[in-house]
Amino acid sequence: MKLNLNKQWFEQRIRAETCDVAAGVSSPLPTTSQPDLQEIEGLAFGRLIELLRRAQRLSVSALAAKANVSVEEIVCIEGDAKFTLDPQSVQRLADVFQLPPRALEALSSRAFAHSPRLHQAAVSFAADSAKISELTAEEQAALAGFVKVLSSQDG
Amino acid sequence: MSGNTSPIWLFDCRIGALAPAELYDEILPDHLADTELLWKPIKDRRRQQHRHWDWRAKLADAAGYLFYQGFAVVAEGKTQGLMMVDRSKTARIPVQQGKDLVYIAFLETAPWNLGQQRLYRGVGTALLAAAIQCSLDDGFRGRIGLHSLPQSEDFYRKCSMTEFDRDPDYEDLIYFEMSESRAAEFMREIGS
């Protein structure tokens, strides 16, 4: 890049610079985010609950009723990797799925980062459990219905 | 120092006249060394607002991203100011909303160029012109944007940049943007 401005240009423009000049926020550049290890564990926790629920052919509402947690919480567990469930609810989910409560709570609270082996297992599970199969009829209907609602909001 | 340079002028407050300087279109190791060996001790002593800006870290963060570009102003063999621009942002002014612009992610002048006892005036002006030229070269027609530190808001107002509300996503700093027409006016040749 070449800047071609003459001496007169600087002479005149510099007159406006009567105060200190600076710009930018103090935080780092925004495009350098690294994989969030804790978020991966949150994702693994959500996938685990979803697959266990589906393995038992439970709807979200049915699981919520069975575990005595709210439907919103189940939706957040399965869909929001940053959502953190309270320990009592984790305990009840562990009871429903007959899992060791401490291990499930460790995963839920992103405590696997302290153990490379468990963390790697969580990463592998999150990766391997990503769906590649075709959508079921129920998933297709739910997807079409939600897209329709979103489309009706446009304009 | 190597790198692509353009001749510019700064106002030397010690002699009350313009003095020659150079604009680099990249930030080189020598510039970083100046920020660490010359700038930092003064900034630490003065507890300046942007004393925590670590240019070496910023440059490392930007490495590999083609939309970042660094600039440096040098006079008397010392780095007088640095700027990092981001060419991945879009405009907010309604008439140019959504169009690409050059966003000034960071702009800082050497600590001896701040306040009433400054040595050089015009570092900010030169870097602003460099951002506009960068925008013109990229086909963005001179559109630039930035978030101003509080002490610099008057400067950007004097440059006729459009002022937005404080931006909660950017540490409550005011966002300023320059339109295509204002950029053309800012860069217009003066004299002969």
More confident call, B143 vs A101 = B143
Integer Cα distance of B103 and B147 in angstroms:
9
Closest CA to B155 of A149, A60, A19, A51: A19
Q: How many residues does chain A have?
A: 155
Average pLDDT for chain A? 82
Q: How far apart are CA B25 and CA B21, in angstroms?
A: 13
Cβ-Cβ contacts under 8 Å, B185 against chain A: none
- A10 contacts in chain B (CB < 8 Å): 8-11, 18, 122, 125-126
Q: At A87, phi and psi to the nearest 5? A: -60, -35
CB spacing of A22 vs B108 below 8 angstroms: yes
What pLDDT, in 10s, does the model give residues A99-150?
888 878 878 877 665 667 777 788 888 787 776 667 788 877 877 777 777 6
Residue B113 Cα, gap to closest chain A Cα (Å): 8
| Chain A residues close to B148, C-beta within 8 Å | 22-23
Chain A residues touching B122 at Cβ < 8 A: 10, 13-14, 17
- CA pair distance B35, B121, nearest whole angstrom: 18
> For residue B73, what are the contacts with CB-CB under 8 A and spacing of at least 6?
B8, B10, B21, B22, B23, B24, B79, B80, B81, B82, B123, B126, B127
**Searching chain B, which residue's CA lies closest to the CA of residue A32?**
B61
pLDDT at position A32 over 60 = no
Per-residue pLDDT band for B1 (boundaries 50, 70, 90) equals low
**pLDDT, position B151:** 92
* Torsion, CA A49, CA A51, CA A54, CA A56, rounded to 10: -80
Q: Are the Cβ atoms of A1 and B25 closer than 8 angstroms?
A: yes
Of the candidates A5, A14, A26, the beta carbon closest to that of B171 is on A26
Strand partners, B86: B68, B103
Tokens describing residue B141: 């027609």
Q: Would you say residue B5 has pLDDT above 50? A: yes
Assess contact for B125 and B83: CB atoms under 8 A: no
Nearest Cα of chain A lies from the Cα of B24 at a distance, in angstroms, of 9
Q: What are A64's two structure tokens?
A: 């919520």
The DSSP result for chain B, as a single string, is --S-EEEEEEEETTTTEEEEEEEESS--HHHHHHIIIIIHHHHHHHT-TTTT--HHHHHHHHTT-TTEEEEEEEETTEEEEEEEEEEEEE--SGGGTTSEEEEEEEEEE-GGGSSTT-SEE-HHHHHHHHHHHHHHHTTSTT-EEEEE-GGGHHHHHHTTPEEEEEEGGGTTEEEEEE-HHHHHHHH-----
d(CA A81, CA A44): 8
Torsion sign (Cα): B47, B50, B52, B56: negative
User: From the CA of B155, how many Å to the nearest CA of chain A?
Assistant: 6
Cβ of B10 within 8 Å of Cβ of A10? The answer is yes
B73, B190, B192: which to substitute to probe chain A, counting the most A Cβ within 10 Å? B190
Q: A16-25, B51-60, B77-86: which range is least confident on average?
A: B51-60
Chain B residues within 8 A of A34 when measuring between CB atoms: none
Range of lowest pLDDT (A48-52, A101-105, B51-55, B170-174): B51-55
